[in-house]
Amino acid sequence: MKKLLVALIGNPNAGKTTIFNHLTGFRQKVANYPGVTVEKKIGTKKFNDTTIEIVDLPGIYSLSTHSEDEQITKNFILDEKPDIIINIVDASNLDKSLLLTTELMETGRPILLALNMIDRATKNNQTIDVKFLEKLLEVETVPVVAIKKKGLDELIKKAYQISKRKTLSFGVNVKFDQPIENEIKKIENLYLDPIEINEKRLIALKLLQEDEHFLKKIRSKDLLKQVHLSREILQSYFKDHLEIIFSKKRYEFIDSILEKALVKKNHYQKTRSDKIDEVLTHKFFGLPIFLLIMYLIFQFTFSIGAYPMGWIESGFSALTTIISNLWPASSFTLFRSLIIDGVIAGVGSVVIFMPNILILFFCISILEDSGYMARAALILDRFMHKIGLHGKSFIPMLIGFGCSVPAIMATRFMESKKDRYITILTVPLIACSAKLVVFTLLIPVFFPKPYQSIVLFALYLIGIVLAIIVIKIFKLTLFKGKPFSFVMELPSYKMPSFFTTIIHMWGHSKEYIKKAATLILGFSIIIWAFSSFPLKEKDISKTYMGKIGKSIEPIFKPLGFDWKIDTALISSIAAKEVFITQVGVVYAIKGSKDTLVLQDNLKKDYSPLQAFCIMLFVLISTPCIATIAITKKETGSYKWAFFQFFYLSALAYIVTLIVYQVGSIFVGGLNG
């Protein structure tokens, strides 16, 4: 069967992911781009005699090199040479979306234009003459409404038909002023590397823009000399930055196209998005509304999550009962204990909290898909600027609610290296899904129902506030400098795609289950072994795990922790969920295999203040091994990875110490 490589490229929030998910369904795999850790999604679609391999590239606004995402997309086009580029544009915002299109038409690859959200353009009183637009750009164009799956079959059919043609059209090139065209031609004539002729124009333009990716590849001194000479000639002629000149000309080209192909029936009228933004992005009410939305999400997570958690817990309890009944206690006692007290008690104590994680991701996915999260970044930009960053830093922090590893990877789109490093170092202060597991175990035990969502919200808020304080300190000490300007295209509000939301949920649940089946399972066995040996010891405090906990107990006693909590905190360095595994194994050895019984034992051993301090320490303390590893990889230095480890550990100790000691005074006073 023949293969066809298709690249999906478009601006963020243009509907690229929705189209990718609908075209590929669950026929997807995730891999890393060569040399970097940014993930790429690859899916397949069969059409007639061809297997179409579809690659979902990062959402970008241009092919400049200000961020790694843009470099990845550009490198993929030039190195992998996709058979077809499907450029997804927002039909209701063509004047902004077509900037990327003008650059893609210079790559020398066949392009198929997908006019997404064509229905919204109509609602905005805009009529697009698709055939005329197609003629002007010399690029085949398909109107689609991705969320409703309209036009997607036609999109694939067109891509297939284009691949069968002997003569391909690459679109029209933007014609710059004659002095620029002259210098482009000089560079093209000197560029002797064996590449496709259509690519030479793009490379010449990027060299004139001092694109580091291409400058590094130049081997010819004559070519390098010509590039510098051409830049001097053009800057002397135009008396302005070439980047501005190129962008200005591209927008003039876009305006000339839209004057002919786009009909606006009425003068500007407020759209539905404009009216919603008047409330949600209000100067004074925007931030309180955002905080209220996040609080409601946490309330929803706790309220709904309790039911599926009970079902999963019942399943593990039933499994434990079946194995206990079928497997006599006198037969292979040690191995029986490993299976029941180690594997089932350890892994089961983590897996039962998966519904809460799925519900949280479901809600966040809806906010992202609706277009609200872009507004949240804008709302927080006003505040972030005061501490030395901009709203873009909020995006990795938002991803950090799920997991710190992809959040740190997401900092690649940030232009400033200093801002990026600050964000990497502070992202772990955001409560990730692994920390949520610990919170979900302890909060229902120690706090009445009316206060549970408030406590959870407070923990998330504490993490954010601490991140803000640390960012300010770093900005005044380690990373001095002004933040970059914040520029982000606000997408129109849209109804979230249920299909896309479900795929996001499945992706996160799949990773969570994989983590439980590998890392957490491995550490459950290790924890069980340390808690079971020496075999002659019946008292867990005298096992190897107990001895470790006892040895460090004096260090953590001022925080209100005993040796059992100490061992759980040490174990959680592997993964925060392992905290629950360790506690589960400790109490399972006492004979308790049910989460409710485990929670009852915790309630007997600790106070609400101690429980809050445990959660506070888990929130702030050093992240998991995977986060430390990705910090080293992203910064290229062990220095920052170790710094992250030790400063977070010290911060967690100091903050928890203050809270426990001050809290003890108040609690003691109340009791007295």
Average pLDDT over residues 531-558: 79
pLDDT at 40: 65
How confident is residue 593, by pLDDT bands cut at 50, 70 and 90?
very low
pLDDT at 645: 92
Helices (H), 540-637: 544-556, 563-571, 578-589, 595-605, 608-620, 625-635
Tell me the pLDDT tens digit for each residue of 276-285: 888 887 878 8
Cα 552 from Cα 548, distance rounded (Å): 7
Inform me whether the pLDDT recorded for 31 exceeds 70. Answer: no
% of the chain with per-residue pLDDT over 90? 13
Of 579 and 522, the structure prediction assigns the larger pLDDT to: 579
Cα 94 from Cα 116, distance rounded (Å): 10
How confident is residue 372, by pLDDT bands cut at 50, 70 and 90?
confident
pLDDT at 32: 40
Same topology, domains 2-164 and 178-264? Answer is no
How confident is residue 339, by pLDDT bands cut at 50, 70 and 90?
confident
Helices (H), 447-574: 449-476, 498-515, 521-532, 544-556, 563-571
Residue type, 555: I
Of 612 and 283, the structure prediction assigns the larger pLDDT to: 612
Six token digits for residue 469: 């304080």
Inform me whether the pLDDT recorded for 619 exceeds 90. Answer: yes
pLDDT at 344: 73
Domain ranges for the chain, please list them. Answer: 2-164, 178-264, 287-480+502-671
**Span 178-264: which CATH code?**
1.10.287.1770
Tell me the pLDDT tens digit for each residue of 43-81: 888 888 888 999 988 888 887 656 666 777 877 887 788
- Strand-pairing partners, residue 88, are 10, 114
pTM (2 d.p.): 0.60
- Strand-pairing partners, residue 41, are 30, 56
Cα 547 from Cα 527, distance rounded (Å): 13
Average pLDDT over residues 31-53: 68
Inform me whether the pLDDT recorded for 274 exceeds 80. Answer: no
Of 409 and 172, the structure prediction assigns the larger pLDDT to: 172
Cα 16 from Cα 497, distance rounded (Å): 12
Inform me whether the pLDDT recorded for 187 exceeds 80. Answer: yes
Cα 106 from Cα 277, distance rounded (Å): 36
Six token digits for residue 651: 């911060």
Cα 75 from Cα 73, distance rounded (Å): 6
Tell me the pLDDT tens digit for each residue of 305-320: 777 877 877 787 778 7
Angle between helices 578-589 and 433-446 (to 10 degrees): 40
Average pLDDT over residues 421-446: 86
Inform me whether the pLDDT recorded for 654 exceeds 90. Answer: yes
Range 590-594, long-range pairs (CB < 8 A, 24+ positions): 590/540, 593/317, 593/320, 593/340, 593/341, 593/344, 593/345, 594/313, 594/317
Cα 658 from Cα 174, distance rounded (Å): 63
pLDDT at 491: 66
**Nearest Cα to Cα of residue 263 among 89, 125, 90:** 125
pLDDT at 502: 78
Cα 196 from Cα 205, distance rounded (Å): 15
How confident is residue 555, by pLDDT bands cut at 50, 70 and 90?
very high
Average predicted confidence (pLDDT) for the chain: 79
99-103, 199-203, 591-595, range with the lowest pLDDT:
591-595
Angle between helices 595-605 and 578-589 (to 10 degrees): 90
Mapping DSSP to helix (H, G, I), strand (E, B) and coil, where does residue 113 land?
A: strand
Inform me whether the pLDDT recorded for 609 exceeds 90. Answer: yes
How confident is residue 537, by pLDDT bands cut at 50, 70 and 90?
low
**Span 2-164: which CATH code?**
3.40.50.300
Whether residue 187 contacts residue 207, with contact meaning beta carbons closer than 8 Å, is answered with yes
Inform me whether the pLDDT recorded for 616 exceeds 90. Answer: yes
- Strand-pairing partners, residue 90, are 116
Average pLDDT over residues 111-140: 86
Inform me whether the pLDDT recorded for 275 exceeds 60. Answer: yes
How confident is residue 360, by pLDDT bands cut at 50, 70 and 90?
confident
